[in-house]
Amino acid sequence: MDIEKDKTKSNILPQMITVGIPSTGMIPYDSFMSFLNLQGASKLPKLMVGIAGSQVHKARNQIVEKMQGEWLMFIDSDMVFQGDVIDKLIAHNKDIVSALAFMKRPPFDPCIFDKLSDGQYLSKRNFPENQLIEVDAVGMACTLIKKKVLKKLKAPHFENIKVGKSLLGEDVSFCQKAKEAGFKVYCDTSVLVGHLETMPIGIGQFRQFAQMRDAQSQTQIRPATPDEIAKLSKK
């Protein structure tokens, strides 16, 4: 669906939307300003629920328990976004729909996924821009969920599960359970959000990038020396 061509707006106006913010206990300045802007820009009545804890899946489940209204909007505490992000997503009137977020570490893949035949999930790198697309799973970084989805799924809604030798995070496993229950998952690739990263720099990062630098130097052409340049200029 082309977002530019589809100007149809949903008539759904929920009496209350819960904005769930799982956090480790600290919210970066840029994210804090985004939440302030969200409160002022969106006309929708909102209940802000923040849960601090080191285990994200448990925080999400606690937010579900405190939810009020017909919609739950997860926005992680390290996201940067526009104030109208909820309005844009709710206009689609989908059961599960996310903005387009990216992983905050290299190679910075999009947090939208296709499911492979072996049950693993692969980031959808070749995605169409400015479109509402159906996917197999999304990250919960900035995702809107209808209450009826949560009511149909059994608790706990969010949990890390093992598939073969891999571990599915709480967001992908939630999408998997939702699809098995008959719901569809969407992403609006025209709604872009930022993912903040902060990390301490130490010997581990030094060694990692030293290895990358050494590998790169072996494949690059060596610069000419001053003597070689002088010889060439005489020809």
Residue 194 host element (H or E): strand 194-195
**Structural domains of the chain, count:** 2
pLDDT at 48: 87
Characterize the bridge pairing of strands 112-115 and 194-195. Answer: unpaired
Residue 12 lies in a domain: no
pLDDT at 51 over 60: yes
Using DSSP's 3-state secondary structure scheme, residue 76 falls into coil
Please check whether residues 32 and 85 belong to one and the same domain. Answer: yes
Residue 5 lies in a domain: no
Q: Which residue has the higher pLDDT, 170 or 15?
A: 170
Please check whether residues 219 and 111 belong to one and the same domain. Answer: no
Residue 1 lies in a domain: no
Q: pTM (2 decimals)?
A: 0.79
Residue 168 lies in a domain: yes
In contact, 67 and 147? CB cutoff 8 Å: yes
Q: What is the mean pLDDT of residues 96-107?
A: 91
Residue 141 lies in a domain: yes
Give the E-state strand segments of 39-173 in sequence order. Answer: 46-52, 71-75, 79-80, 96-100, 112-115, 121-123, 132-135, 137-138, 142-146, 161-163, 166-168
Please check whether residues 118 and 87 belong to one and the same domain. Answer: yes
Q: What is the mean pLDDT of residues 31-47?
A: 82
Please check whether residues 176 and 229 belong to one and the same domain. Answer: no
Please check whether residues 111 and 226 belong to one and the same domain. Answer: no
Least confident range from 43-57, 80-94, 126-140: namely 43-57
Using DSSP's 3-state secondary structure scheme, residue 106 falls into coil
Please check whether residues 170 and 219 belong to one and the same domain. Answer: no
50's CB contacts (< 8 A; 6+ apart) are 20, 21, 22, 23, 77
- CA–CA separation, 81 and 102 (whole Å): 13
Please check whether residues 94 and 183 belong to one and the same domain. Answer: yes
pLDDT at 163: 78
In contact, 185 and 135? CB cutoff 8 Å: yes
pLDDT at 15 over 50: yes
pLDDT in tens, 17-30: 999 999 878 888 88
Please check whether residues 155 and 209 belong to one and the same domain. Answer: no
In contact, 44 and 87? CB cutoff 8 Å: yes
pLDDT at 108: 87
Residue span of the structural domain in which 69 resides: 17-195
Q: Which residue has the higher pLDDT, 218 or 20?
A: 20
pLDDT at 223: 55
CATH number at 140 reads 3.90.550.40
Q: Which residue has the higher pLDDT, 30 or 234?
A: 30
